[in-house]
């Protein structure tokens, strides 16, 4: 087991202080789809039981083994996508029941390992099912998984569903998309604004199911009193910006209204995809008020077998995923795996990213870094040139007048 400084933290900061979670979840087929390939799951990990929202929201006082929140967005055709996302939720919970809920441990690193292992097991089972059932070949699903333990969230990410935290009127993304667009933005090939409107922004680089192995991204976030966690599929995040999520969430205490308002907003903009939202408002005596020095956002949790494993090589030899696409063939709608040429583009972008890391000050810059910096400063040179030409013209006019 990995030794972590987090293991020195008690699950409940003092005595019987607890975190109280007020939670609601909702999924909607959207305006264009005939089938809903999204799923959500919320579970009490002390009992290992999933919660139903047919009768309204739940207010849960978290026990020692915590809570689970999951959103999954399936792909591979209606029947396959629906099955893949449902299997993801069921299998992750099954794995956590066996490796976490039934154990006496409440150590943070053991919890993170259980989340990692349950997700990887779900991938293996979905992949095996697709191999054994040709009608489901190519099935897969994203998975954004948040586990609450004590006063901290631990998040596992595969694909491009998202987790946001709304605090003090601002929404910050806690997860990082495993997508071609995210890779190209990080490599300096695209701006975030260009990525948002790209026809290829539905291309993801990992999913549960298409390959026999995945490398999950694992992060963590300290909770504060009044925080609201939003987990969603890209049917929401692709249409509703983070600042709009904050505006619809920050001053609304009813998590049912939050979920419905966000889904209504996405549907009002066309609703081309399925839309799923989990909203969780955190309160309770275990949580302190937020402070200005809080770190909120993408915070890596280094653990073996994850993207942030500090013991493995920075660059893993990539394998080309088997192409898979949702039932809706429109490129702008739905999630799909990359083609071989798109995978090569993503691999090159990753090499560009790696080339910028740990370069000694005295070392010559690699060619990708030079090209990236040229692209960055080119607009500034154009602006300076325009200013210089204007200054020359103005000077000439003054001399003519004189």
DSSP state letter for 97: I
Residue 343, domain member (yes or no): no
- Whole-number Å distance between alpha carbons of 53 and 51: 7
Residues 32 and 122 in one domain: yes
> Is residue 397 in some structural domain?
yes
Residue 295 resides in a domain: no
In angstroms, how far is CA 274 from the centroid of its own chain?
A: 17
Spell out the residues 6+ positions from residue 236 whose beta carbon is closer than 8 angstroms to its own: 245, 262, 263, 266, 275, 276, 277
Q: Is residue 348 part of a domain?
A: no
**Residues 83 and 188 placed together within one structural domain of the fold:** yes
At 355, list the tokens.
């080339």
Task: Read off the pLDDT band of 206 (50, 70, 90).
Answer: very high
Bridge-based pairing of strands 58-61 and 20-28 is: antiparallel
The residue among 25 and 327 whose pLDDT is bigger is 25
Q: What Rg value do the Cα atoms of the chain yield, rounded? A: 23
Determine phi and psi for 162, rounding to 5 degrees.
-135, 160
- pLDDT category of residue 194 using cuts at 50, 70 and 90: confident
Q: Which residue has the tokens 């309204």?
A: 56
For residue 292, being part of any structural domain is answered with no
Structural domain that includes position 21: 5-283
Q: Is the pLDDT of residue 184 over 90?
A: no
The structure's pTM equals: 0.80
Please check whether residues 279 and 380 belong to one and the same domain: no
Q: How far apart are CA 214 and CA 197, in angstroms?
A: 28
Last residue of a domain, one of 258, 283, 308: 283
Q: 198 and 85, same structural domain?
A: yes
Same structural domain, 44 and 166: yes
| 339 part of a folded domain | no
pLDDT at 192: 83
Classify residue 397 as exposed, middle or buried by CB count within 10 Å of its CB (0-12, 13-18, 19+): exposed
Question: Which tokens sit at 303?
Answer: 């653990």
Q: How many degrees, rounded to 5, is the angle at CA 23 between CA 215 and CA 278?
A: 45
pLDDT score for 379: 62
CATH number of the domain that residue 132 is part of: 3.60.40.10
Same domain, yes or no, for 90 and 190? yes
Q: Is residue 84 part of a domain?
A: yes
What confidence score (pLDDT) does residue 369 get? 47
Residues 91 and 188 in one domain: yes
Domain boundary among the residues 235, 268, 283 is at 283
Of 260, 283, 306, the residue that ends a domain is 283
HEC letters along 294-352: CCCCCCECCCCCECCCCCCCCCCCCCCCCCCECCCCCCCCCCECCCHHHHHHHHHHHHH
Q: Which helix (H) or strand (E) holds 77?
A: none
* DSSP 3-state of 70: strand
Classify residue 310: in a domain, yes or no.
no
pLDDT given at position 355: 52
CA 142 to chain centre: 9
Residues 91 and 221 in one domain: yes
Query: What would the two tokens of residue 394 be?
Result: 């103005």
Alpha-carbon span 107 to 117, nearest angstrom: 15
The confidence score (pLDDT) of residue 213 equals: 93
Both structure tokens of 377: 């400063």
State pLDDT tens for residues 5-18.
566 554 554 457 89
Question: How many other CB atoms are there within 10 angstroms of residue 241's CB atom?
Answer: 11
Q: Dig out the tokens for 332 from the structure.
A: 């702008």
Q: So what's the pLDDT on residue 76?
A: 85
pLDDT tens digits, 73-105: 999 877 899 999 999 999 999 999 999 998 888
Instruction: Report the C-alpha gap between 21 and 281 in whole angstroms.
Output: 6
Asked whether 35 and 134 are in contact (CB, 8 A), the reply is: no
Q: Three-state SS for 142?
A: coil
Residue 395 shares a structural domain with residue 271:
no
Spatial separation of the C-alpha atoms in residues 344 and 121, rounded to whole Å: 28
Whether residue 160 contacts residue 177, with contact meaning beta carbons closer than 8 Å, is answered with yes
Edge to edge, what strands does the sheet with 58-61 contain?
58-61, 20-28, 275-283, 228-232, 162-167, 170-173
Q: Do 178 and 158 contact (CB within 8 A), yes or no?
A: yes
Nearest CA to 327 out of 79, 130, 86, 71 is that of 79
Q: Which of 118, 152, 171 is nearest to 277 (CA)?
A: 171
More confident residue, 109 or 361: 109
> How many domains does the chain divide into?
2
Q: So what's the pLDDT on residue 340?
A: 66
Give yes or no: residues 207 and 108 share one domain.
Answer: yes
Contact 262, 28 (CB under 8 A): no
């Amino acid at each position: 087991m990995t030794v972590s400084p987090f293991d020195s933290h008690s699950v409940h900061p003092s005595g019987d202080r607890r975190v109280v979670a007020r939670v609601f979840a909702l999924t909607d087929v959207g305006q264009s789809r005939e089938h809903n390939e999204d799923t959500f799951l919320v579970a009490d990990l002390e009992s290992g039981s999933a919660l139903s929202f047919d009768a309204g929201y739940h207010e849960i006082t978290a026990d020692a083994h915590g809570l689970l929140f999951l959103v999954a967005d399936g792909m591979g055709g209606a029947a396959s996508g629906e099955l893949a996302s449902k299997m993801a939720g069921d299998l992750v919970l099954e794995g956590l029941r066996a490796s976490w809920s039934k154990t006496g441990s409440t150590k943070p690193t053991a919890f993170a390992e259980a989340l990692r292992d349950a997700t990887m097991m779900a991938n293996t089972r979905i992949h095996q099912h697709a191999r054994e059932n040709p009608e489901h070949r190519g099935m897969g699903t994203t998975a954004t998984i948040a586990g609450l333990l004590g006063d901290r969230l631990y998040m596992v990410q595969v694909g491009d569903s998202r987790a946001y935290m709304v605090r003090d009127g601002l929404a910050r993304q806690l997860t990082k998309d495993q997508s071609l667009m995210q890779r190209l933005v990080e490599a300096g090939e695209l701006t975030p604004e260009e990525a948002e409107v790209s026809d290829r922004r539905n291309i993801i680089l990992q999913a549960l199911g298409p390959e026999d192995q995945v490398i999950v991204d694992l992060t963590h976030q300290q909770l504060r009193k009044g925080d609201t966690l939003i987990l969603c599929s890209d049917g929401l995040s692709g249409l509703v910006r983070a600042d709009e999520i904050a505006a619809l969430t920050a001053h609304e205490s009813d998590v049912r209204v939050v979920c419905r308002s966000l889904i209504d907003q996405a549907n009002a903009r066309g609703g081309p995809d399925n839309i799923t939202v989990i909203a969780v408002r955190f309160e309770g005596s275990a949580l302190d008020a937020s402070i200005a020095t809080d770190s909120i956002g993408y915070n890596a949790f280094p653990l073996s077998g994850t993207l942030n494993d500090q013991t493995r090589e920075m660059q893993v030899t990539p394998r080309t995923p088997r192409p898979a696409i949702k039932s809706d063939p429109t490129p702008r709608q739905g999630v799909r795996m990359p083609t071989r040429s798109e995978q090569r583009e993503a691999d090159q972008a990753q090499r560009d990213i790696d080339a910028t890391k740990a370069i000694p000050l005295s070392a010559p810059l690699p060619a990708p870094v030079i090209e990236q910096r040229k692209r960055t400063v080119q607009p500034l040179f154009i602006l300076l040139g325009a200013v210089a030409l204007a200054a020359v013209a103005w000077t000439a006019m003054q001399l003519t007048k004189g």
